[in-house]
Structure 1
């Protein structure tokens, strides 16, 4: 079987997850890594057992790289994606795709121009119990949707930001609690509830010495007439598992930490066939999250290349959560409702 070759841009902690997934997939092989730090080359080569480059052009000239995983700072995703696309490589980017709509639109255009696939890792869509929730809503089992809520009330210690100075900056993180930590659950909320028509947000920095927010809340109106809320933070000790709540006229389903904790749908007992996978939550420790959903995203990216179809979360789909988050920031800055 011919394997799909992977290159990875970045050598931060998330790279370990990507390497683990690639090594476990029969159709994938890790070819090379790129790091902007020449001091990291030797240690990364020993750790991952492949060639490591500090020259982007040399890295992208590796002919056996088919897909580039972009795992550097969020605000640097765009330049890395465009460079890979121009070299004819398909791209799978860590979330968020970029930190502004302008940058996202630019990378979508470049990937379309060079006819390469663009995917984004929003791996919680692959959680078996979220899929169960999504299918129930998609099949109309909850009836008319009334309300959807996302709560990402997490905690990060001071060291989380001090040890990685790009975190919490507007330039490279695009914000903080909502854009970095909250984007996953916000993506799920939008995926199940549909598009947002307006937001009223309030974000503040109350504890951490960062530019972005460490607490925030927002009120949402959805295009289908439903309403919703988002709360989030990285200063909410000790950190609680993220929650997703969906209410319809025929019932409600509530998730916590990737698990369904309430299933109350009229005339529809909960199916019993969902695989029992240990998902974990990043409520207080970002390393506690399982790699299994990342693995499904990477497998989907491989399949999208082999079958010449769009990835599960392509550029326009990944754009949606960033549009809502940046609109919440704008609403908070201007103290007004923002219409999308």
Structure 2
């Protein structure tokens, strides 16, 4: 991958070329971004302040929400700025950093989904050993390993993408992604494409294998339960995670686990879905479909209302005393 490593500015084509659609799309994506941040920050705060959520499952969920916050922030602000700006250029370094950080948080999320599946497997299949196996130390080790694997993969993929020579067209999609930027490299990219494909496949397929084996074991254990109520409760605890896995890996496989030459314009829709919409939907999936989270949310709401009511009462009483 030698050659002349010319640092050029890239032009982000944006979501649409139509001026009449840019303002409505700006408002739409701004609302999506605000909801994403509020929802995910809310999940993190709720887990922190609710003793009933101080379990490994919700520890992983806070990191999952954190990665959603970060990788949506890598994409959305720049996308919003480009919708209202005539100048859609991004520097070589800016494009490289956007790809690096996006890849890091996206791959971290991939591993976190696998860890959450493993957590559910231990909780349902080995409940008596759950506290021993999924200890606080093990949780931190698993999360740290996910960030380490993600960092190594993101560095490798970024180096493979930007290590060649850029001498031709410099227009890419609405943000800097692996394969759209790789298409702009003038030098031979075959070895880079194979290395990127291998790293992404290793991370994605490795996570999928952990999730698949975990759920096969869960299904086997649940079907052996005598109580229908226990079976329903066990399946219900996995529903949110399964929905998040389906959305994330469905769009991810469509985007990356296909030959680069077969990428089409439909990829732009898929990339918007997983970079913008999925981070917004995840808090709703893990709150509205989770009785424990909803119960904690209601308790926090009642606590806040009680504190506000108490302060209002004290304030009105103080005013009454002053008037007397």
- Which is higher, the Rg of structure 1 or of structure 2? 2
TM-score, length-normalised on structure 2? Answer: 0.29
**Greater fraction of residues in strand:** 1
Compare relative contact order (CA 8 Å, sep 6+) and give the higher one, 1 or 2.
2
